[in-house]
């Protein structure tokens, strides 16, 4: 004799436990995805800045040389062996996304950041400086110069990423 089988009918849909597990998985996965996307964006900005750096540094070194020759385009004239910028000032140049100079940036604009200078978009800020070095016997006195490429230009100076380039100049 066979006993009739009872058919257990499960309601369609998810149980409360399944719903809680699904929400928990989403609570962990969503922030991870957004974090990954943010980090990828930072990596792209860094790679772009490193690609533009040779052009930006070259333009800054040309401005230093023009300053030494008494014909600066953006800053004041300097003499061989004279450190720059003057105390309390900043020598900063704005550069476009393709690494072309846009113009000189004031100290206040440098500190707070900005996306435009005279109506032209700004992506990078290059800060130029030179300081005296202790003299070495039987050598020409040299200054230690630094070009610091900072990005993105829209954020305050303290929050920007930086690429520093150092050299010596007479």
- The answer to whether residue 14 sits within a structural domain is no
pTM comes to 0.75
SS3 for 32-88 is: HHHHHHHHHHHHHHHHHHHHHHHHHHHHHHHHHHHHHCCCCCCCCCCCCCCCECCCC
- The answer to whether residue 88 sits within a structural domain is yes
In this prediction, residue 3 carries a pLDDT of 67
- The answer to whether residue 124 sits within a structural domain is yes
| Structural domain harbouring 51 | 24-169
- The answer to whether residue 18 sits within a structural domain is no
Q: What is the mean pLDDT of residues 107-125?
A: 95
Classify the C-alpha dihedral 145-150-153-157 as positive or negative. negative
- The answer to whether residue 2 sits within a structural domain is no
- The answer to whether residue 62 sits within a structural domain is yes
Q: Looking at the 3D structure of the chain, how many domains does it have?
A: 1
What is the residue-averaged pLDDT of the chain?
A: 88
Of 47 and 166, the structure prediction assigns the larger pLDDT to 166
- The answer to whether residue 104 sits within a structural domain is yes
- The answer to whether residue 134 sits within a structural domain is yes
Of 154 and 34, the structure prediction assigns the larger pLDDT to 154
Percent over 90 (pLDDT), the chain? 61
């Amino acid at each position: 004799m066979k006993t009739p089988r009872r058919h257990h009918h499960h309601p369609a849909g998810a149980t409360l436990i399944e719903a809680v597990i699904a929400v928990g998985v989403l609570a962990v996965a969503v922030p991870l995805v957004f974090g990954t996307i943010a980090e990828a964006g930072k990596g792209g900005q860094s790679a772009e800045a490193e690609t533009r750096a040779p052009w930006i540094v070259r333009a800054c070194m040309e401005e230093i040389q023009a300053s030494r020759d008494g014909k600066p385009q953006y800053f004041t004239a300097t003499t061989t062996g004279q450190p720059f910028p003057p105390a309390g000032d900043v020598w900063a140049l704005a550069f476009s996304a393709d690494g072309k100079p846009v113009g000189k940036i004031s100290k206040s604009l440098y500190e707070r950041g900005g996306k435009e200078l005279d109506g032209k978009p700004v992506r990078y800020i290059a800060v130029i400086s030179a300081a005296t070095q202790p003299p070495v016997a039987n050598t020409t006195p040299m200054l230690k110069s630094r070009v610091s490429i900072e990005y993105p230009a829209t954020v305050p100076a303290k929050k920007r990423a930086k690429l520093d380039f150092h050299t010596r100049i007479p």
